[in-house]
Amino acid sequence: MLLLYFTLLVPFLFALLVPLLYRYMPRIHTGWFVLVVPTGIFIYMINLIPIIAKGEKLVNSVPWIPTLGINYSTYVDGLTLLFGLLISGIGALVVLYSIYYMSKQREALHNFYVYLLIFMGAMLGIAFSDNIFILYMFWELTSIASFLLIAYWYQRKQSRYGAQKSLIITVIGGLALLAGLILLSIMTNTFSIREMIEADQMIVKHQLFLPSMLLILLGAFTKSAQFPFHIWLPDAMEAPTPISAYLHSATMVKAGIYLVARFTPVFSGTIEWFWLVTGTGMITLLWGSFSAVKQNDLKAMLAFSTISQLGLIMCLLGIGSASLYASTAILAALFHLINHSTFKGCLFMVVGIVDHETGTRDIRRLGGLMNIMPITFTLMIIGSFSMAGLPPFNGFLSKELFFTGVLEAARLNIFHLETWGILLPILAWIASIFTFIYSMILVLKTFTGKYKPNKYEKKVHEAPLGMLISPIFLASLVILFFFFPNIISNNLLQPAMKAILPGLLEGGGFENNIKIWHGWTTEVFMTLGVAVVGMLLYISFPKWSGIYEYLPEKISFNYIYDRGLVGMEKLAAKITKTYMTGIVRDYLLYIFIFFVVVVGGSMVLLNNFTFNPSGNGPVSAYEVVLILVIIGAAVLVMLTKSRLTAVIGVGVIGFVVAMFFVIFRAPDLALTQLVVETVTVALFLLCFYHLPELGRETGGVGLRAANLIVSLGVGVLVTLLALTAQSNPLVDPISTFFENSYQLAGARNIVNAILVDFRGFDTMLEILVLSIAGLGVYSLIKLPLARRDNK
């Protein structure tokens, strides 16, 4: 198991080496060194397949904060391994692709690969973590790393905007997730996800069940760009294409999918979970596919198609959670999870090639590239047709299973499906039509038509072989998984299904066998209908595309986000302006009022004030006189109009306090007080002598009354606190310890013993601070002189 921990930490460890490799080996593209990391992890994950396929689970824990029950616990089952293979496998292909896509001369590759490795390690951490706090730590780390990757070209305004939007939305969802996980831990008295799953019956009956479920789903929906939180994903396309291919097709956006799948055993079988997950997924599927058709930028089209496909997977997870009779939906979700990573990763890389070789992604400028870029054209056909659900590509099989899943759900007699269930296959069929349309646009608008070289910024030619290797490999998997689907079904999908629905395979009655042809079923006719209607709508697109103009911009979620952000900034600026006046008096007023309200209110509510004068010593007449002198000097400071008189009044207070030290037999403190007070008064007199006389307070009676009230409040409260602390000590006074200073430190003077012996380290550090400050001042003084000498 140590090898597993090392594997999970390798991306972070190697991220520390990347800047050194970039600096000291400039002739070699840094990506070649980085490629070793995901490749090695993928090979290690491959070796785990036989173990997990047998039904075994790997559990281990390394203590981190054992007193709080927080340990770095890992839990490897079929679902974990599936995501680990996707993260590392797609990661290796993306790194290989980036070696040829990212210019060594023009790009800061050390930053690029450091961010990429941090993100890869964080995604692996999410998939393999069993402790909820470790999972949350990696969850937020993916948001931070994604922010850095999206803003990689930070010189661009849109890159900064997209990175900020993704960070704000996903971090808000992450905080909701943390709250939901804490509620689960309260219900189950454990931080282990595995133990929470085992306590599912107790969770469902708990009063915190619904709040925890809503908070966890909010975290999952924001991360996986579900409606209406999908708005961050299209703006994230400002990242370099390798990042889009990795984060937004195979990894980060799948984190929310993983979370829903992981907690399905906890919340499944409830109507709230079913309709929230299924309904949100179906709306996202429909809206994403509908919005993708109107896009003119290839990456924007792929972004909305990703939103749509994520909605499809989310919808299937919701349907599959309803009943074991709907378990085909779980199989479809997991199969499409793999298929989507292959064909969408391929498509992103192909779009990157088109952009790299033509200088544009605008479909209004593209066309006629079929003969010039035949390999890229072939790859686009494979990826797009698979996304459209056409044979002989893997997307056809998972899309057929999707239709089977929604049809099975429509026949169930639970969760009001006997009434509303018919909407699921209808909406799924409509969304599939739009998916077919934008898939045809990707192929036909980009590669067919007349070639017009004057529209391109570069002389167009086929991409170099190095840039084609990764998409060719993914396209090969698209076809391979169509003809041999049960290779991954038996070894990956079945263990993953068992992790999501633990009672499924034990109960029997389910054949985990994916077939290419089932006969002339309803699903086949639905597919034929999608192809026929989709092609007719594609051909007639100019006639009905005007419907997109009827969508008012001011009610779009992007507009609401932008206006809301601007509104919050203005509101924050307005509020800040009201209390950040630049006047010290106002700031002190805030502090004192807060002090009086919070501390004084606590004393009143808790009835904490006590006064017990029985242990006090007698007060002599001269002590009373000294107290009256202090009070008189304080009043003089408040009422005088002369700065000189005010300084003298403050000095009188200090000197009288020194006399109190003499009375209380503390000559050292008295001497220190006299020296400090003398120096302070002298400095005050030196500075204030040249300042004008004090004027009258310009705030009027109200301001003076406010000052009086606050001053009295603070004075009375501090007095009450002192009396209460003296009358009701919570612990024994420390003075008894220092009375033994001679035995402990060999010093007859207690004050000296405290300063020199008991507070020796503190005094030494104070001297160190003063020495550093002195050196700084000396350097500032000498620096200008040295510069003058050089001139």
pTM: 0.80
Question: How confident is the prediction for the chain on average, in pLDDT?
Answer: 88
Q: Spell out the residues 6+ positions from residue 354 whose beta carbon is closer than 8 angstroms to its own.
A: 298, 361, 366, 369, 373, 376, 446
Q: Which residue has the higher pLDDT, 434 or 61?
A: 434
Predicted confidence (pLDDT) at residue 508 exceeds the cutoff of 50 = no
CB 303 within 8 A of CB 237: yes
Average pLDDT over residues 6-32: 91
Residues 6+ apart with CB under 8 A from 491: 49, 53
Name residue 74's beta-bridge partners.
60, 129
Share of residues in the chain with pLDDT > 90 (%) = 51
Average pLDDT estimate for 503-517: 63
> For residues 369 and 522, what is the distance between their CA atoms, to the nearest angstrom?
38
DSSP secondary structure code for residue 61 in this structure: E
Q: Which pLDDT score, from 0 to 100, does residue 786 have?
A: 47
Say what the pLDDT of residue 79 is: 94
Lowest-confidence range among 360-364, 372-376, 507-511, 712-716? 507-511
User: By the 8 A CB rule, do 745 and 757 touch?
Assistant: yes
How many Cα atoms occupy the beta-carbon half-sphere of 116 within 13 Å?
A: 33
Would you say the C-alpha torsion 234, 236, 242, 246 has a positive or negative sign? negative
> Bridge-partner residues for 70, per DSSP?
65
- What one-character DSSP code corresponds to residue 392? T
What's the half-sphere exposure (Cβ side, CA atoms, 13 Å) at 161? 13
Name, in order, each residue with C-beta under 8 angstroms of 747's C-beta and a sequence gap of 6 or more.
Answer: 741, 753, 756, 757
As a whole number, mean pLDDT of residues 643-662 equals: 88
CA 174 from chain centre, in angstroms, equals 6
H/E element holding 243? helix 241-247
Q: What is the 3-state secondary structure (H, E, C) of 734-784?
A: CHHHHCCHHHHHCCCCHHHHHHHHHCHHHHHHHHHHHHHHHHHHHHHHHHH
Residue showing tokens 């992103």? 348
pLDDT tens for each residue of 532-574: 999 999 999 999 988 888 877 767 788 888 888 878 888 888 8
Pick from 397, 401, 366, 365: which is nearest to 380 by CA?
Answer: 366
Per-residue pLDDT of 677-708, as tens digits, reads 899 888 888 877 676 665 555 566 777 788 88
| pLDDT score for 112 | 93
CA–CA distance, 316 with 334 (Å, rounded to integer): 9
* Residues in contact with 723: Cβ distance below 8 Å, sequence separation at least 6, in sequence order: 609, 610, 611
DSSP code string of 406-468: HHHHHT--STTHHHHTTHHHHHHHHHHHHHHHHHHIIIIIHHSS---GGG-SS---PPPHHHH
The 10s digit of each residue's pLDDT in 108-155 is 888 999 999 999 999 999 999 999 999 999 999 999 999 999 999 988
Identity of the amino acid at 42 = F
**pLDDT higher than 80, residue 641:** no
Structure tokens at 595: 């002090």
What are the pLDDT digits (tens) for 20-76?
A: 998 888 888 999 999 999 999 999 999 999 999 888 888 888 888 888 878 888 999
Residue 354: phi and psi, rounded to 5, are -60, -45
User: What per-residue confidence (pLDDT) applies to 374?
Assistant: 93
Helix (H) or strand (E) holding 711: helix 700-727
Helix or strand run (H / E) with residue 330:
helix 328-358
CA dist 57 and 14 (Å) reads 28
Least confident of 397-411, 459-473, 741-755: 741-755
Percent of the chain residues past pLDDT 70, beyond the cut: 95
Helix (H) or strand (E) holding 145: helix 132-150
Contacts of 766 (CB under 8 A, 6+ apart): none
CA angle 103, 104, 110 (to 5 degrees): 115
User: What whole-number distance in Å separates Cα of residue 203 and Cα of residue 200?
Assistant: 5
Per-residue confidence (pLDDT) for residue 350, from 0 to 100: 95
Amino acid at 564: G
